[in-house]
Amino acid sequence: MPTHAYGANAADQALQAMQIERRTPGPHDVQIDIAFCGVCHSDLHTVRSEWGGTRYPCVPGHEIVGHVSAVGSDVTGFRIGDTVGVGCMVDSCQHCSACAEGLEQYCQNGFVGTYNGKTADPPGHTLGGYSQRIVVDDRFVLKIHHPEDQLAAVAPLLCAGITTYSPLRHWNIGPGKKVGIVGIGGLGHMGIKLAHAMGAHVVAFTTSQGKRQDARDLGADEVVVSRIPAEMHAHGGSFDFILNTVAAPHDLDAFTALLKRDGTMCLVGVPASPHPSPNIGQLIFGRRSIAGSLIGGIAETQEMLDFCAGHGIVSDIEMIPVQHIDQAYERMLRSDVKYRFVIDSASLA
Ligand code: NAP
Ligand code: ZN
């Protein structure tokens, strides 16, 4: 089906309106009329091929919410009109040990990303949520139980929400734990809300003086401006866990120094060029870890959506028409987003 979309034809070209083709739903497919799509920093990294390997035309977008407009003959879990979401994955092998454990994001045969993934559909790679509709295998469609008027603010949960929820759960964050969230952007602001809701003592780290009060309003118990050494030193050796969401290379040692013995800093930001090599002695003397984490599995994404619905958690958003995407990217690069841009898909019509 011909579908209006917005994408780029090359790494150095601005996004523009384009027509794409969506497949006719097969027996296990769900067709979704997209209402809103969040704007993730990964969209920008991909569309500008900062990680390499981008296939063009590139239509980004993996924080998708909308309504079911058709279902295949074998779909039993969804009906026309249901409010649903799609995150960063649209398929995986379903038979490796990772898939068997519900960890499709670590599929040993490679999950299929919602954009820039391999597919039999034209043009041979997946095209994401900066579009009017999408057709997705029912195993990768999530149910949304938030009130309908919050739908736009639910969209960022599909990536920013799960990418912060999954490591917080994996490292057993809860009451009695001191948790740092580094970088108060799309991911970081969700990290603050979720760690707070899990009962942890939350310290936000920001390079932006202007986000001090915001971070408290989001749920941080304390805020540190990471450019001020005295504020950093005051927290030396005190954290159980630090979640680092920064999208640019930076000095990791300043943060590992803040971990307790056996503490972990989990990196989720994927900068286009490497961080300076960390100070290994600082890890050894203290048995500290630097770890990484990738989004979350489908079952855990549903768990996160239900946790957020139960706790009244949504993202703080600024809605834009799709035509403003390039200005939104430039503002994201200046850390000037409060705290996630969301595209109103009606602007594609
Ligand atoms: P974002 O909205 O741009 O937020 C990043 C934040 O990092 C900024 O708001 C800023 O916060 C801070 N920052 C930016 N430049 C910095 C610098 N040079 N030094 C220190 N801090 C800096 O981006 P996002 O959408 O949250 O994504 C963050 C990263 O996670 C991206 O690299 C993205 O690709 C990656 N990602 C990973 C996964 C995964 O599964 N692992 C999933 C989604 C996204 P302050 O103003 O507070 O300093
Ligand atoms: Zn993302």
Task: Identify the pLDDT of residue 1.
Answer: 94
Give the ligand at the shortest distance from the Cα of 64: 2
Of 333, 328, 331, 334, nearest to 342 (Cα)?
Answer: 328
Helix, strand, coil percent values for the chain (each to nearest 5): 30, 25, 45
Contact in structure between 311 and 161 (CB atoms under 8 Å): no
Q: Which ligand is nearest to the CA of 62?
A: 2
Burial of 347 (0-12, 13-18, 19+ CB in 10 A): middle
**Cβ 342 vs Cβ 320: under 8 Å:** yes
Q: CA 184, CA 206: separation in Å to the nearest integer?
A: 6
- Ligand that comes closest to the CA of residue 88: 2
Residue 85 burial (CB < 10 Å; 0-12/13-18/19+)?
A: buried
Probe ligand 1: pick from 45, 50, 270, 329, max atoms within 8 Å of CB? 270
Burial-class residue 282 by CB neighbours within 10 Å (0-12, 13-18, 19+).
Answer: middle
Ligand 1 atom showing the smallest separation from residue 105 Cα: 40
Mean pLDDT of 71-78: 98
Ligand 1 first shell, C-beta below 6 A: 40-42, 45, 159-160, 163, 183-188, 206-208, 211, 245-248, 250, 268-270, 293-295, 332, 335, 337
- pLDDT cut 70: percent of the chain above it: 100
Query: What pLDDT is recorded for position 331?
Result: 97
Q: Whose CA is nearest to atom 4 of ligand 1?
A: 185
Mean pLDDT of 52-58: 97
Residues with CB under 5 A from ligand 2 (ion): 40, 42, 159
pLDDT band at 32 (very low <50, low <70, confident <90, very high): very high
Contact 339, 189 (CB under 8 A): yes
Q: DSSP assignment of 22-77, as one string?
A: PPPP-TTEEEEEEEEEE--HHHHHHHTTTTS---SSB-----EEEEEEEE-TT--S
Tell me the sheet residues that pair with 24.
Answer: none
Q: What is the mean pLDDT of the chain?
A: 98
- In this prediction, residue 221 carries a pLDDT of 98
Query: Pairing state of beta strands 317-321 and 340-344?
Result: parallel
Q: What does the pLDDT look like over 276-311, one tens digit per residue?
A: 999 999 999 999 999 999 999 999 999 999 999 999
Q: What is the pLDDT of residue 259?
A: 98
- Tokens 């067709």 belong to 31
Rounded mean pLDDT, 260-265:
98
* Overall average pLDDT of the 76-98 stretch: 98
Spacing, Cα 216 to ligand 2 middle (Å): 24
Which pLDDT value is given to residue 111?
98
* Average pLDDT of the segment spanning 68-84: 98
pLDDT band (50, 70, 90) for residue 173: very high
pLDDT for residue 75: 98
Q: What's the confidence (pLDDT) of residue 158?
A: 98
pLDDT tens by residue, 199-215: 999 999 999 999 999 99
The answer to whether 78 and 30 have CB atoms below 8 angstroms apart is yes
Domains of the chain: 2-159+296-348 (3.90.180.10), 161-292 (3.40.50.720)
Sorting pLDDT into bands at 50, 70 and 90, what band is 312? very high
pLDDT at 30: 98
Handedness of CA 248, 252, 258, 264 (dihedral sign): positive
Q: What is the pLDDT of residue 17?
A: 98
φ, ψ dihedrals at 185, nearest 5°: -115, -145
